[in-house]
Structures are given as C-alpha cells and as structure tokens.
Structure 1
Amino acid sequence: MSMVALHDLLCATRGSQAPVCRDAERAASIGFAAFRARVHAMAAWLHTYAGPRCALCIDDTYEFACALFAVLACGKEPVIPASATPGYLADLAGSYDTVLTDADLRAIASVPVADLAAHSDLSIDRDARLTLYTSGSSGTPKPVHKTLAQFDAEVRTLEREWGALAGDATVVASVPHRHIYGLLFRVLWPLAAGRPFDRTAMGEPQQLQARIDAYRATVVVSAPAQLSRWPALAGFATLAPAPRAFFSSGGPLDPHAANEYAAAFGAAPVEIYGSTETGGIGWRRQSDSSGSSESSESSESSGSSAWRPLAGIDARRGADGALEVRSPHLVHHDWHRTDDAVTFDADGRFILQGRLDRIVKLDGKRVSLPELEARLVLHPYVAQAATVLLAGASRERIGAVVALSEAGSAALRDSGRIAMANTLHRHLAGYFDAVVLPRRWRFRIALPFDTRGKLPAAALAQAFEPDAQGVDVLAQARGGDVIHYVLRVPPTLAHFAGHFPGVPILPGVVQLDWAIRFAAEHVPGVRAVASIDRLKFMAPVRPGAMLGLTLSHDATRRRVQFAYRLGERDCASGVIVYRELAGEQARAPAGERA
C-alpha cells in the first residue's frame, strides 16, 4: 500500500473509486473521490461557523473522518471528547466553541463528485493541533494536546510493523473512534495507507462473521474484554476466511484468551501498549516467544509476557523504576517518564510491574497497590489481579479482584471461596504488613475492563456492590464449558417484598432470570430462549442466602443447564434451550449442527 502524509491526504493522487469506507449494512463502498467531495462540503459549511475549536461528537465513523479533515482544512482545532453525554460535555464547556453532531452533518449537502474540480484543494498544516481527552488518574477529563505530525509519525510506525500483514484488508472494529487507539487504528492508519475501514463498530460478537462474509479480507481492531468474549461465539474457530490479524489495546489480554486465538488462528492477537499522551510504545503477541513482527528475522527466548518497543521507540528504566521513552510520537525529542514500573530482560524487552502512582496509606502504613497486584499474580491460582481502596463505615480497606487461573478455578470449585481468600491472604502475608492486606475479595473469570480496555477504579469498586439486579456476585470460576458462581442474596432485595409476608422467599422466576442473565455473559444468543426444560424448585431461598450456581453449556445442542445449591442441598435446576441465530446453521461445520 502507498502511504500518504495525513496533511497531504486531501490532495493525494489516488483512484477516484479507491475504497475509503465500506458499509456492510447498505452493501456499499465509498470511494476516495466521494470522500474528498464530502470533506469539501463540510469545510465550506464550517467556514461560516465562528470559533476556532470544534468538538466532534459524531458516532458515524465515516462522517467523523470527513468532519475531522474538514475541521483541519479550515484551520480550526478538532476537539475529540471521550463521550458525548450532556454531563461530560458540560464539564468541558470551556474547551470548545462549537459542537458537531451526526444531526448537524446530515443537514450538509454533499458536493457532487463531478463538481469537485471546481473546488481548490484544501491544504492542512502538518503541525495542526488536535485535542483528545482521557479520564485522568482521578476520573476527571484530562486534555491531551497532540499535533497531526505526531499522528502521522505513528501511522507510519504502524505501517512499518504490520502493513505487509494487513495488506488490502478492510479494518473492522469494536472500539470507539473517539479514543486514540480507535482513532489511529480505525481512521487515520487506514486513510494514510489507502486501506478501507468499516463504517460502524461491531456491537455484538455475532457481527464478526457477518463482516467477514461481506468483506472477506479483514483486520480486526478490538479491546481485551471484547476479544475475550468472542471465543464463545458458535463457530469461532472456523471463522472463514480468518482475519489477517487481531489487534488489542487498552490493557493486557487474558492469557487464556490469547491461547484460544493462537489455537484457532495460529497466533494470538497483537497487543499494543501505550497511552494517549505517549502514543504507541510497545507490542507483544503472547503466543510468540520471539516477540518479533512478521517482517523481523530476530528470535528471542524469553517469555511472551514481555513487550517489545515499537520501531523507532527508545525505552529505558528510570532511577525510580519508571518506564521512560523517547519517541517520534511525542511532541518533543526528550525522554518522557511514564507512571508504569518496569523491568527489562536481556533482549531489551520490558515487563510491566504496575503503576507507580497508586500508593495508599492504611493505619499509618504505606503500600503500593501495584506491588500487591504483582505479588498476587505470582501465586499459581492467579492469572490477573487488581486492587482498589474501598471506603468503609469506620475505616478504609483494600479490596482485591482476582481473575483465576485454571488451577485457581479448580481450587475454588473444590474448596470454596473462603478457602481461596485465606490461601491468597497467607501468600501476601509473607511480603506485607497485616494491616495493608486485602480484607475483601472477589473472584472472577476476567477483570472488569471497560470497552476501551481500561480498568477504572470505579469498575473495581463496583465489583464489591450488588449488581443492577441486586445480587452480589462473590465468585466466578470456569472449567471447560462449566461456569460456577457464588452469589449472595441481599436481605433487602426488592423481590422479597410480598413474597411472602412474614416468610420471605426468593421467587422462582427471579432465579430463572438470573440463570439466563449470567449465562448470557458467556454464551452469545442465550437470551433468544426457545424453551425452559426440566424446571424444578426443590428448596426455598431465604434472604441472606449464599447460593452456588452452576451453568453447563452444550453448544452443539444450544442448551445451558443450570443448578442452584444451598450448601449441600439442591434448590433449583433446569435447562435453557435457545434458538439458532440467523445464518449460524449455514456457517457451522456439519459435525456441529444440531
């Protein structure tokens, strides 16, 4: 593919029909001439707007791309909020002069492609400024000012690393274009390389095969939480044709998920490490111990948890253990200190050791939350761990959310949640003062990463509260196609009201709803219930009960068997039969059809 500098994009000599954007829902493709015409129309309209800063609150990725370059061509500054909610925009009110929405852009008539020659080419300053927003360490939106030249340097880095692998594939994504990862991988890199991008994000895993059917050659851009869901999709291992690459960013991909991709497609997803401030810093493929890209002939022997700096990036460990980088993706040429602690291996790769800025004090004792997490993952029962400071009635305490390894899941099923917490408590007691050890524990199959692959403190704290339906999920564990939950039924649960006066009992329909809802977290399509078979209620569930829920999935027959237990006593069971998804029968291998 021929790369074009981003500031020269509107005057590039590309074929008029060279695809810029593909729209699977309309079975349409938008060519380069139409893209330029649309940008010209928006630029002409924007010239009438007062104010130099335009907030782009646009959901349609194609229209967003057109508006972005129209704003730049007008000499105005694009401001890209992380969210378009009214409250979020109110917080940023002093940071923009104009808000552009999808509705605004629909009112702009496109310039006919045939008339484009009458319009002079629009020039863009290579150092034009763009502003993005991150959540910041406190959760308050934090502006990050970057230049188009920085983005241009970064897309050239991406093309050097993976351009040959991506080729002419269409970029499909499940991440938003409002954040730097989506902006780079969904919009700017494809535009610079002449590679088409999909118009809409994949909201559900079932849409992946539909995109592949429509485009054939694809590159998938997603986040760890989403990628971890896709292996449960019926026919996942037989996606055809297989995407040329899966990209992931925003947090570490669960090793179990990485192994599932490696088994299905020969290689794990390419994980990108960086930040809005720094841009891309490093990458890894957990299935690849060499840590080399497709074009590299180097071979190393250290573990696949390490990250290799991207081409052109210098990295070192600072005196305080922080990762420091020097990069063309930065606005300066000096060393930039991050807040991530690292160690380096003999081959120049780095291993992340957590954040340096998460230090808390309990009863006069200081403790590093990253250090707690790093010690936790040394235990064979732990795949990933995150800690959070929780407010209590009388004092603060630390909560730990732990994603269990296969051995940990087996131990939880065999010995129970309390025994697991005690085991990990004793493990940490060898390194830390007792007063700073976690007092509350939650065990999960995966950590609660958000759609951007981030792990916000608010999401971790929410793991210690009842969910939206009022049930407290204390533990999850997986063993093959069997998932085990430990649930606490709060005495204040609304479902007890009136059922029955004086002798409150959890309604059976609520237990059924919970079974379907929890199964839907792991089994796409289970909400399309065809029938409930062999439904039994054997024992009442009272307020405060500690319930064990086991879900057993039979994908071939599209069934999920559920069973609730109170201690050693069965209290409810049944089988959820769900309908076949549209198109699934045609795609499934003969041996997998019911």
Structure 2
Amino acid sequence: MSAHRDSFARDHLPPREQWPEFLLDRPEYRYPARLNCAVELLDRNLERGRGEHPALVTPQETLSYAQLADRVDRIARVLVDRLGLVPGNRVLLRSANNAWMVAAYFAVLKAGGIVVATMPLLRAKELSQVLRKARISHALCDARLAEELRKAEAPDLRHLVCWGDGELEGMVAQAAPGFPACDTAADDICLIGFTSGSTGEPKGTLHFHRDMLAICDGYGMQVLRPQASDVFIGSPPLAFTFGLGGLVLFPFRVGATAVLLERAPPEDLPAAIARYRATVCFTAPTAYRIMAGLAGRHDLSSLRKSVSAGEALPKPIFDSWQVATGLKLMDGIGATEMLHIFISAPEEAIRPGATGLPVPGYVARVVDEAGAEVPRGTIGRLAVKGPTGCRYLDDPRQAQYVQHGWNITGDTYIQDADGYFWYQARNDDMIISAGYNIAGPEVEAALLAHPAVAECGVVGAPDAERGMVVRAYVVPKPGVVADAALAKALQDFVKAEIAPYKYPRSVVFCDALPRTETGKLQRFALRRQAEAGA
C-alpha cells in the first residue's frame, strides 16, 4: 500500500501494459515491501558505526554521516512541520553540487516526498516546463540560482525556500532534531528525473525507492565494487542521474566519502583528485582526454578506478588515459530512463573500445525494427531490461521507449560473438551516404587519434549527389594551423584508420563544440549547422 497521500505521480504512471518487464528475481534485488531509500543509504551507516566517518567533503565544509543525518532530519522537519509537505508532494531542488543539495535531497526522500532535481543552468522557460508537468508544490533552492526560478511559471508552487541567504539555515537551526522516516513502500515513487529535452518537451522519468538501491546493488556493488575507504570525486551534476549515483548513492551504500565540487572542469579536476586523495572518479570522455594531458603535473596515484559515461568512449581516449595513469577507463552506458549504467565491465573484463557486458541482473540484445534479435555481429537497436526501467510521467512517448517489454534506448549497437556490446551511434546519428551506413562516433574516434585534433564532432550534411556526406567539425590543438592542408591530412588519416568510404568529405574547423551542461556533445546542434550549410 502506498504511503503517498498526494497520488498525482502514481496516478500519472503509464498503463501497466506499457511498462517494461522488470527482472527482480536475483537475491540482491529482492527488497522488503516497505522501504525508504534514505534510511537504507544514510541512516544505516550510523547503525554500522560509520557515524563519525566523513560522508561529504566540500571546499566549504566537511560533514560526517552523523552530521549529515542531523541536517537531513532537520530539513525534513522544516518541510513537514513548517511547509506542510505531505507524502507524494513533488519538491524541486536547484543547486550546484554541494552539501546542502545532498541534505535537501535526502530530506525529501525521508519525508516521503518526490525529488525533482534540476540542472543549475536551466532558465525560466525550461524550469516552467518542469514545474507545470510535475505539478511542483515545494522548492528548495540555492539563493544564487533563485532568480530564474522566481521568473518561471509555477501554478502549483506553494513554498520556495532558499539556502545560502540564511533562510533555510535559520529554519533548520530552530527545527527539532530527529525525524521518523515516512513508511514508504518499496515501489512508491521517490524521484522524477527529467531528460534533457533536446528532442522537444523534456520527459519525466519515474523511479521508485527500490530503484535507488537497485543501481547500487547492481552496477555499484557488482561492477564498480567500491570500498568503505574510497573517496569519490567527479564532475556530473547531481541533477543528472549519472552524477547522483556516482557521487552520492554508490559511496553512501558502502559508507564511503564523496567529494563535491560546485565547479569541476577537466582543467581543475586533476588538482582536486590530488588534493583530496580521491580514489574513484566519475566524469565524461571529453574530460578524460583533457585530464590525460595534465596528468603529469599532478599526483594522481590515489586513483584506483575511473568511470566514463554520458557519451561514447572513443578508444584513443581510453588509450591516452591508460598511458597517463596506468588505469583502464571503465566505460558504461546508462540512461535517465534506466536511472544509471546497465552495460559495463569490471576492470578484469574490459575490452578497449567495447562498452562491455550487461550488468548482472540486466539482459540486453540487439534487435531489428520489428524487435527481433539480429545475429551477432549485425548492427541494430539496443534493447535492455532489468531491475530498473522506463516509466514516463504522463507521456505518449512511453510507447516508443518500451516495446514488447524491452527498453529501446535509442542507441545503435553491435554485439560480438563473446557477448560484448560495441557502440555505433545514437539511432539518429547514423549517416547514410550513397547507400552506406556510417556511424559518426566511429569517424570521431579515428579523427581523435590524430595528434592535431583536440575535439571533434561528426554529423551528416545534405548532399545532392550522395544524399548525405560525412562532415567533421574539428577543434585543432593550440598552435596547429587550421587550413586546407590540415583538412586533407585528416581525411587521409581517417582513410588509413577505417574503411575509406567513411572519411569526412567535408571538414570544418571551429574554436569550440556545442555541449550540454553534463559535457555531452550536442550533435543535434551540429546537424542544424550542417543543414544550414555552416
């Protein structure tokens, strides 16, 4: 029985027949019917004697598990006793990565609310879409980011409280300690994760309390294998589920320490790793490429695991990081719809260039347009199912993502004879030129192996003769002359690296590439440029 008195989110789940099949038979995914993930991820560390161990380390403050739990309880009391939160209410959180953001997150979970975390760079128009679609009733916000939120359309918002200006801090100081966790069901919704909205109105993905533990007990415990002595660090925002898992949930599940940095560009991350003696790093492939060039200037000897996700990992980046640090990058593919990584490989099973194998508890296959599995070595659409899966908030696109019980992620893959999955492209990033199927990321990987290339993005450009041609947008390394001779050299280099028909017939040099807040290359923006002839 649900603990939610406000049933809006549950009422707007997709029909059961549109849900994916969930695989929950493995012992590690069998959770009790009543479950509050904040208790399991935070309070259990106090019971295990980890209360004095550092939970969060930031440039501003360090909080032990006991101190964090106290702040969480007091914020929960503010939410319930002063702001009238009832279980099932949606609470928008808006902040960079800091201790108050984590405390607010767990306070909402513990009180039985539903977290809706938003990227710090979103503007009023984008926030309005989230506020309206999720019927947000409460918001907790870093005061530095409140202006856009106040300008947004929020017809259901009753309370907006900020920290950083003393408002929430004052309420917390007056609140009584201790808070009894809401008796939520394991399948009560606790998180609405919104997708980036790059293809239209953002989609809200609904996740249960048990889902938060499933990603810890799946990818976390069986592939990443963290230890209580680990110190996690990274760049992804906590509003991005890759960051939530990698910088909070995985360390908390084992009682480890998380370092949170409000800004963690790749130019600064190596110094932070050295300063905090971090052992596990989460960031995007592009960041690892830059960091590899800086590795010799910093003591990175504390690192023992490096996780790459958010976009495809080109083999040249894998190789450069291994040369620089001696570490194999742990590639992985996840999705907001799946909550976190579902295909990866532990260090001993990594094959450079491959994404990896299904995380234990998940199954994956490559299928054709009709949903039938294709022979190994054949290109097709990735389909996956496991203990987590897609449930959109009141969205007809549910029927596109879930087909015949499988989550269809929108990625094109090949599975080899040994079961490893090899990324080709997003489904809409395949370039069809004169009848050939060409994967843009494969061409990007070839270009990145050239010593003159700092970054690149490859898309299809309209062409009267071939339908499309491969166009490469290239950021040269500092000091490199970007001219016709370099374009020709890059084209010849690609012809020698991969099948010659895949080479970029058009090379455009630029100063920077369009990227999302999480570091993903915005190929759709490059496609628009190509369509406009730019």
Q: TM-score, normalised by structure 1?
A: 0.62
Aligned residue identity for 1:291: A
Cα deviation, 1:266-318, whole Å, max 9, x if unaligned, reads 22221221211123121258xx7x635xxxxxxxxx76435222222211121
Q: What does 1:196-211 correspond to in 2, within 5 Å?
A: 196-205=257-266, 207-211=268-272
Aligned equivalents of 2:514 and 2:198: distance in 1?
17
Contact 1:242 1:265 in 2 (8 A): no
Change (3 A) 1:33 1:327: same
SS state at 1:89 partner:
helix
Aligned equivalents of 2:334 and 2:205: distance in 1?
14
- What is residue 309 of structure 1 aligned with on the other side? 358
SS state at 2:282 partner:
strand
Cα deviation, 1:2-54, whole Å, max 9, x if unaligned, reads x997242354214331221112x24x421122212211221122122468221
SS state at 1:116 partner:
coil
Point out where structure 2 has 5 or more consecutive residues left out of the alignment: 1-28, 30-34, 144-161, 370-379, 392-403
Contact 1:442 1:463 in 2 (8 A): no
Change (3 A) 1:30 1:465: farther
SS state at 1:145 partner:
strand
- What is residue 62 of structure 1 aligned with on the other side? 99
Change (3 A) 1:323 1:245: same
Tell me: higher relative CO, structure 1 or 2? Use CA pairs within 8 A at least 6 residues apart: 2
Q: What does 1:339-418 correspond to in 2, within 5 Å?
A: 339-358=410-429, 371=439, 386-388=457-459, 400-401=471-472, 415-418=485-488
Contact 2:57 2:260 in 1 (8 A): yes
Residue 322 (1) aligns with residue 371 (2): no
Aligned residue identity for 2:130: L
- What is residue 302 of structure 2 aligned with on the other side? 242
Change (3 A) 1:204 1:455: closer
Residue 138 (1) aligns with residue 199 (2): yes
Aligned equivalents of 1:215 and 1:380: distance in 2?
31
- What is residue 140 of structure 2 aligned with on the other side? 100
Cα deviation, 1:227-277, whole Å, max 9, x if unaligned, reads 2111232734x5143312111111123433322221232222212212111
SS state at 2:388 partner:
coil
Identical residues among aligned pairs (%): 23
Aligned residue identity for 1:134: T
Aligned equivalents of 2:462 and 2:435: distance in 1?
17
SS state at 1:242 partner:
coil
Contact 1:272 1:283 in 2 (8 A): yes
Q: TM-score, normalised by structure 2?
A: 0.68
Aligned equivalents of 2:493 and 2:53: distance in 1?
60
Aligned equivalents of 2:270 and 2:201: distance in 1?
38
Aligned equivalents of 1:84 and 1:72: distance in 2?
23
Change (3 A) 1:163 1:250: closer
Residue 38 (1) aligns with residue 71 (2): yes
Q: Deviation at 1:125? A: 3.8
Cα deviation, 1:512-567, whole Å, max 9, x if unaligned, reads xxxxxxxxxxxxxxxxxxxxxxxxxxxxxxxxxxxxxxxxxxxxxxxxxxxxxxxx
Q: Deviation at 1:209? A: 4.9
Contact 1:61 1:177 in 2 (8 A): no
Aligned equivalents of 1:427 and 1:348: distance in 2?
25
Residue 452 (1) aligns with residue 500 (2): no
- What is residue 185 of structure 1 aligned with on the other side? 246
- What is residue 90 of structure 1 aligned with on the other side? 128
- What is residue 349 of structure 2 aligned with on the other side? 291
Aligned residue identity for 1:148: H
- What is residue 407 of structure 2 aligned with on the other side? 336
Residue 194 (1) aligns with residue 255 (2): yes
Contact 2:474 2:509 in 1 (8 A): yes
Aligned residue identity for 1:91: Q
Aligned equivalents of 1:140 and 1:150: distance in 2?
24
Aligned equivalents of 2:318 and 2:259: distance in 1?
24
Q: Give aligned pairs, total.
A: 440
Cα deviation, 1:176-197, whole Å, max 9, x if unaligned, reads 1111100111122222221111
Q: What does 1:192-591 correspond to in 2, within 5 Å?
A: 192-205=253-266, 207-233=268-294, 235-236=296-297, 239-278=299-338, 279-284=340-345, 291-292=349-350, 304-320=353-369, 321-330=380-389, 334-358=405-429, 371=439, 386-388=457-459, 400-401=471-472, 415-418=485-488, 420=490, 440-442=506-508, 449-461=515-527
